[in-house]
Amino acid sequence: MKYSDSLAAIFVVCIILIIIIPVPTEIMDFLLILNITLSIIILLTTMYIKDPMEFSIFPSILLVTTLLRLSLNISSTRLILSKAFAGQVIQAFGSFVIGGNPIVGLLVFIIIAIVQFIVITKGAERVSEVSARFTLDAMPGKQMSIDADLNAGIITDKEATNRRRKIQEEAKFYGSMDGASKFVKGDAIACIIIIVINILAGLVIGITMKGMDITQAVNTYTILTVGDGLVSQIPALLISTATGIIVTRSVSESNIGTEILKQLFREPKILKITAVLLFIMAFIPMLPAIPLLLIGSLFGYLGYINDKKIIPEEDEKTENIKELEEIRDPKKVYDLLQVDPIELEFGYELIPFASNELLDRIVMIRRQIALDLGIVVPMVRLRDNIQLKPDEYVIKIRGTEVGRGKVYINRYLCMQAGDKNDSIKGIPDKEPAFGFPALWIEEIEKSKAEALGCTVVDVPSVISTHLTNIIKKHSYELIGRQEVQGLLDNIKTTNPALVEEIVPKLLSLGEIEKVLSNLLREELSIRDMVTILETLADYVPTTRDTDILTEYVRQALSRTISNKYAVNGKIKVITLEPSIEQSIQSAINQTEHGTYLTLEPDLMQKIIRAVNDTVRKIMLQGDQPIILTAPVIRFYFKKLVEQISRDIVVLSYNELLPNIEILSIGMVKLNEG
């Protein structure tokens, strides 16, 4: 296969040389047998393919084999006329067919040539011509059908592209077959002309030049001519038959032999009627009874066997019809619009982890998120994706990718602890959830890394940690009106009066959802739903602005916020220069649709740069950036710093318990940076 292109070119060149260079009889025998063998292989190939496109090179093969036969015809004619002997193959074919009677043998050969030329070749040529015309005429309709299926969502873009490519290939194939079938017709005509030349010229040369009498010349050149014609016509007949088969084939799930048996003998009633007719004919005088009875018994048995198979086939056909009707149902298109809240796609190497350990960890993740944030995480859809690398995974929220990672099977992720693990060997990488420097180490390095104080985790832990972090960051996207209704139904079992007071008298589900989403956006737990609902009930009479209501709820959850960010009763914060707070407060614009911040662009950019510089300094010191502001501007300032990073925590004075000690470790000033 490595040198197939060179071998094919050499083969074609050798065919041309055969026409010019005299070929010894030994080599001629070899080439004639090779020609017959190739013809048999081509015929069998056309019978075993399921789709004509599987043998798309057939038109080119047809041209090459025709050229091979003509070159052998010319070479054999040269041997017949010059030496009165063209090899053992031609001699054997001629002697076998003639059987001692040149006239009968010649007539048999003429009949074979007529069948080849008039029946097989003409039929294949006509079928090729019609197939090419109908294929080209049907192209626009097929293209429109593909576009319709694509617009209806029945097929994907990739499937549509493949179908269009197949239509183009079919058009090229049948167009080529229309032209290539002319080669077969021309070959048949040339063969008949060569036969006439061989007989007439052979008789003249044999009598005048070789001193043969008429009887000897007729016997000699008739045998050679018939033999030469047979070794040419038999391969031509096989190739013509193959041409007819391939242009009349339609796409099917099996080869032609299986299809013939399946379609011709599938109806048991027809087989039984045929058997009865054969039995009746067996009693007619002068007809051979034994063959009729044997064949009738065979068809009767086939009808009996097929009668038992017809019931399962009908059941299967009914199921296929139902399945097709379900696909055609217009309502089924709506199923394609469903988007999973959370998806975890992974390469094929991660399938063992997804089907075992990862499923158990996801159950624990949902329990942990419920405790930490107070929401019920939807079921995580796990699916393999062959488009991903084998050791890669992707996390999606609402159908959109929000996280991606790569792991190494049979290795552990080692989070570096300072410079103590320089001696640990592994593949450098970053921890996918938080971006910490890490190494993928082998199991033999695990004990050493743990002894040096490094954190070592396995592959399922890496993926589950990343998934947990993604869910926490995007928890506000996972809560909707339906989820809010579920939380209210849960609270209603213990506090029915509270829920009945708020919904729907004071607030709608959508307004409560916005408040809860605001809290979750800053990763604040909504587990204490009773406090949240009571706060909303208290302040709704004064305002329905969900952003302001969120600030009231945050202040009511001061104990939760203080416990989350304070350490040993102390909290390190960054404060704002009074001029900044005053500028922001003055830029708060209140309308009937809500409140908005209308800072001048230049001033906004200065504040953002000042915050960015201060936060960077604090992070270099190893502290978490927490900015403390006045309650009235906290929400608006948080929206402002989100342009830098969502990880910057913004608190107000009213959100901290009185006993919390506040330590200022920096101040945002406009005159810096």
CB 391 within 8 A of CB 406: yes
pLDDT score, position 30: 85
Residue scoring higher pLDDT (606 or 244): 606
Q: Is the pLDDT of residue 405 over 50?
A: yes
**Three-class SS state of 276:** helix
Which CATH superfamily includes the segment(s) 342-476? FHIPEP family, domain 1 (3.40.30.60)
Up-side HSE of residue 62: CA atoms within 13 Å toward CB? 32
Selection from 65-79, 154-168, 333-347, 394-408 with the highest mean pLDDT: 394-408
How far is it, in rounded angstroms, from Cα 387 to Cα 156? Answer: 15
Burial of 19 (0-12, 13-18, 19+ CB in 10 A): middle
Beta sheet of 392-397, edge-to-edge order:
380-384, 342-346, 392-397, 400-406
Q: Is the pLDDT of residue 494 over 80?
A: yes
Report residue 23's pLDDT band, with 50, 70 and 90 as the boundaries.
confident
Considering the chain, tell me which residue range(s) the CATH 3.40.50.12790 domain(s) occupy: 562-673
Q: From the CB of residue 635, how many other CB atoms can be counted at a distance below 10 Å? A: 22
Supply the angle between the helices 58-83 and 25-48 in degrees, to the nearest 10.
150
How far is it, in rounded angstroms, from Cα 573 to Cα 576? Answer: 10
Q: Is the pLDDT of residue 561 over 80?
A: yes
Q: Is the pLDDT of residue 71 over 50?
A: yes
Residue range 371-394: average pLDDT? 88
Q: What is the 3-state secondary structure (H, E, C) of 494-515?
A: CCHHHHHHHCCCCCCHHHHHHH
pLDDT score, position 536: 93
pLDDT score, position 43: 82
Report residue 562's pLDDT band, with 50, 70 and 90 as the boundaries.
very high
Residue with tokens 């063959």: 291
pLDDT score, position 526: 93
Residue range 102-119: average pLDDT? 69
Reading the block at residue 548, the tokens are 């302001």
How far is it, in rounded angstroms, from Cα 25 to Cα 79? Answer: 8
Q: What is the 3-state secondary structure (H, E, C) of 561-607?
A: HHHHHCECCEEEEEEECHHHHHHHHHCEEEECCEEEECCCHHHHHHH
Considering the chain, tell me which residue range(s) the CATH 3.40.30.60 domain(s) occupy: 342-476
**Three-class SS state of 51:** coil
How far is it, in rounded angstroms, from Cα 496 to Cα 533? Answer: 12
How far is it, in rounded angstroms, from Cα 529 to Cα 373? Answer: 11
Q: Is the pLDDT of residue 121 over 70?
A: no
pLDDT score, position 451: 84
**Percentage above 70 pLDDT, the chain:** 79
CB 28 within 8 A of CB 89: yes
Q: Is the pLDDT of residue 289 over 50?
A: yes
Q: Which CATH class is domain 562-673?
A: alpha beta
pLDDT score, position 392: 92
Report residue 554's pLDDT band, with 50, 70 and 90 as the boundaries.
very high
Check whether domain 479-556 has CATH 1.10.8.540, yes or no: yes
Considering the chain, tell me which residue range(s) the CATH 1.10.8.540 domain(s) occupy: 479-556
In one-letter notation, the amino acid at residue 254 is S
Q: Is the pLDDT of residue 533 over 90?
A: yes
Residue range 541-559: average pLDDT? 91
Tens digits of residue pLDDT in 293-348: 888 888 787 777 777 665 555 555 566 566 556 655 655 566 666 788 999 998 88
Q: What's the whole-number average pLDDT of the chain?
A: 80
pLDDT score, position 230: 75
196-210, 275-289, 405-419, 581-595: which has the minimum mean pLDDT?
196-210
How far is it, in rounded angstroms, from Cα 246 to Cα 46? Answer: 6
pLDDT score, position 419: 56
Mode of pairing for the β-strands spanning 437-441 and 412-415? antiparallel
Phi, psi of 250, deg, nearest 5 = -115, 160
Q: Is the pLDDT of residue 624 over 70?
A: yes
Reading the block at residue 155, the tokens are 């097929």
Taking the CA atoms of residue 50, residue 51, residue 57 and residue 60 in that order, the dihedral angle to the nearest 10 degrees is 100
Report residue 673's pLDDT band, with 50, 70 and 90 as the boundaries.
very low
pLDDT score, position 504: 84
Residue scoring higher pLDDT (558 or 423): 558
Q: Is the pLDDT of residue 233 over 80?
A: no
Reading the block at residue 512, the tokens are 């409560």
Reading the block at residue 333, the tokens are 């298109």
Mode of pairing for the β-strands spanning 427-430 and 437-441? antiparallel
Reading the block at residue 410, the tokens are 């049979």
